[in-house]
């Protein structure tokens, strides 16, 4: 690619004009308030001013013959935004977690790892860790088993496949809050005269032994029932992942195995399941990172029941209700570490394999 810079008068004028308008509008807006329909749009105005200035710079960078410069310049806002909002904020959170900031005014007095050691002696946090463990195991196992089972059934090319696929997938489009609210009512633990929800169905079907206390079962097993709405929402997604994997396995492989005298069961056991391992890995990463940071579903279904507490809720309580910012930050950082242990090896692995291609 050729190097060099071609000066184009009209483009330069445009660039300078854009930059000037951007700067001037920033200065004007900085001093006044921009009110549109009773809302304060000053910050958005400043952002747009900045974008005008930036587009002037883009025009100048565009005059370089080497277009890689323009490519980098166009990527820059996203990179800077992620650098600040992800990495900058993580660093800031870590700093807060090493302080003793409690109360509304920031206090960055260094206390080292004090917040973390306190958390590991905090009964509530230890319950949270256990609950997250129960939830993660139940959620991943439930989604993988039901997802794979449904995918294998749908892979038999039965009539009505599209309809079933749609029915199993639609809960994915519903929010954790809505799902938690509905399942909270379905899994109503009331007994005797006030029996209702799924328990009432069990009673009407004379399946009384199935009647359950659901999420109010004594710890730690109550937590296992909060998995039900989560599995309802994401086992269809897992099924779609597996179905995609199954459909990409060529019919010839199965045919060859049949010719060799393998039964259908053996084909699945020894050929198809091993070929689906990459799908399982992706599913575990996606589902695992969701369950390690599970929050809204438990808010909606647990309704502040401390027996169903998870780190996400503790962080929210301690930070915004208890104004214990340092402890809140420490919980957030620990959640981040747990997700990073799961995800970072996978990201490095996929980056390496892609580089080999």
Kindly tell me which of 23 and 172 has the beta carbon lying closer to other proteins: 172
Residue 111 pairs in a beta bridge with: none
Phi, psi of 225 (to 5 degrees): -75, -25
Residue 354 Cα distances to 9, 267, 346, 347, 349, angstroms: 43, 30, 12, 10, 9
Residues 24-63, interacting with other proteins (CB under 8 A): 39-44, 47, 62
Cis peptide before 220 (omega within 30 of 0): yes
Choice from 5, 8, 30, 89 touching other proteins (CB under 8 A): 89
Kindly tell me which of 23 and 200 has the beta carbon lying closer to other proteins: 200
> Shortest gap between Cβ of 211 and other proteins (angstroms)?
15
Comparing C-alpha atoms, which of 161, 155, 148, 143 is closest to residue 264?
Answer: 155
Handedness of CA 273, 276, 279, 281 (dihedral sign): positive
CA dist., res. 146 & res. 236, Å (int)? 8
Structure tokens at 317: 């309580």
Residues 288-307, interacting with other proteins (CB under 8 A): 289, 292-293, 295-296, 299-300, 303
- Name the segment binding other proteins (CB under 8 A); options: 48-56, 109-117, 132-140, 329-337: 329-337
Residues 216-275, interacting with other proteins (CB under 8 A): 232, 236, 240-241, 244
Residue 322 Cα distances to 96, 152, 318, angstroms: 15, 49, 5
> Shortest gap between Cβ of 61 and other proteins (angstroms)?
11
Kindly tell me which of 15 and 292 has the beta carbon lying closer to other proteins: 292
Strand 35-36, strand 39-40: pairing: antiparallel
* Residue 64 binds to other proteins (criterion: CB under 8 A): no
* Residue 190 binds to other proteins (criterion: CB under 8 A): yes
CB 11 within 8 A of CB 59: yes
Number of residues lying near other proteins (CB under 8 A): 105
Ordered DSSP codes for 105-124: S----B-TTHHHHHHHT-HH
CA dist., res. 122 & res. 200, Å (int)? 39
CA dist., res. 335 & res. 331, Å (int)? 6
* Residue 5 binds to other proteins (criterion: CB under 8 A): no
Comparing C-alpha atoms, which of 163, 225, 224, 165 is closest to residue 197?
Answer: 225
* Residue 317 binds to other proteins (criterion: CB under 8 A): no
- Name the segment binding other proteins (CB under 8 A); options: 15-23, 86-94, 109-117, 254-262: 86-94
> Shortest gap between Cβ of 215 and other proteins (angstroms)?
14
* Residue 194 binds to other proteins (criterion: CB under 8 A): yes
* Residue 4 binds to other proteins (criterion: CB under 8 A): no
> Shortest gap between Cβ of 312 and other proteins (angstroms)?
6
* Residue 171 binds to other proteins (criterion: CB under 8 A): yes
Kindly tell me which of 32 and 156 has the beta carbon lying closer to other proteins: 156
Kindly tell me which of 205 and 218 has the beta carbon lying closer to other proteins: 205
Residues 103-162, interacting with other proteins (CB under 8 A): 146, 150, 153-154, 156, 158
* Residue 195 binds to other proteins (criterion: CB under 8 A): yes
């Amino acid at each position: 690619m050729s190097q060099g810079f071609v000066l184009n008068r009209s483009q330069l004028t445009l660039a300078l004009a854009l930059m000037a308008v951007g700067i001037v509008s920033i200065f004007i807006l900085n001093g006044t308030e921009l009110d549109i329909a009773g809302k304060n749009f000053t910050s958005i105005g400043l952002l747009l001013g900045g974008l005008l200035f930036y587009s002037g710079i883009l025009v100048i960078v565009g005059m370089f013959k080497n277009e890689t410069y323009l490519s980098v310049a166009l990527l820059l806002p996203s990179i800077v935004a992620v650098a600040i909002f992800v990495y900058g904020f993580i660093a800031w959170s870590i700093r807060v977690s090493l302080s003793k900031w409690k109360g509304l005014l920031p206090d960055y007095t260094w206390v080292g790892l004090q917040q973390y050691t306190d958390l590991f002696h905090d009964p509530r946090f230890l319950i949270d860790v256990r609950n997250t463990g129960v939830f993660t195991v139940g959620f991943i196992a439930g989604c993988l088993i039901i997802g794979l089972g449904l995918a294998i059934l749908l892979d038999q090319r039965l009539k009505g496949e599209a309809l079933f696929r749609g029915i199993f997938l639609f809960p994915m489009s519903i929010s954790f809050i809505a799902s938690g609210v509905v399942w909270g009512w379905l899994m109503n633990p009331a007994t005797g005269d006030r029996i209702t929800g799924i328990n009432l169905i069990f009673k009407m079907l004379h399946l009384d032994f199935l009647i359950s206390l659901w999420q109010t079962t004594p710890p730690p097993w109550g937590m296992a029932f909060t998995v039900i709405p989560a599995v309802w929402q994401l086992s269809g997604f897992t099924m779609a992942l597996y179905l995609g994997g199954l459909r990409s396995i060529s019919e010839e492989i199965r045919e060859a195995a049949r010719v060799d005298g393998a039964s259908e069961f053996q084909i699945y056991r020894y050929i198809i399941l091993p070929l689906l391992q990459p799908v399982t890995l992706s599913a575990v990463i996606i589902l695992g990172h969701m369950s390690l940071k599970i929050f809204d579903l438990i808010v909606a279904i647990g309704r502040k029941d401390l027996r169903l507490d998870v780190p996400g809720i503790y962080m929210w309580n301690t930070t915004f209700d208890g104004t214990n910012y340092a402890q809140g930050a420490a919980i957030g950082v620990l959640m981040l570490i747990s997700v990073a242990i799961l995800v970072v090896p996978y990201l490095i692995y996929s980056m390496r394999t892609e580089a080999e291609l």
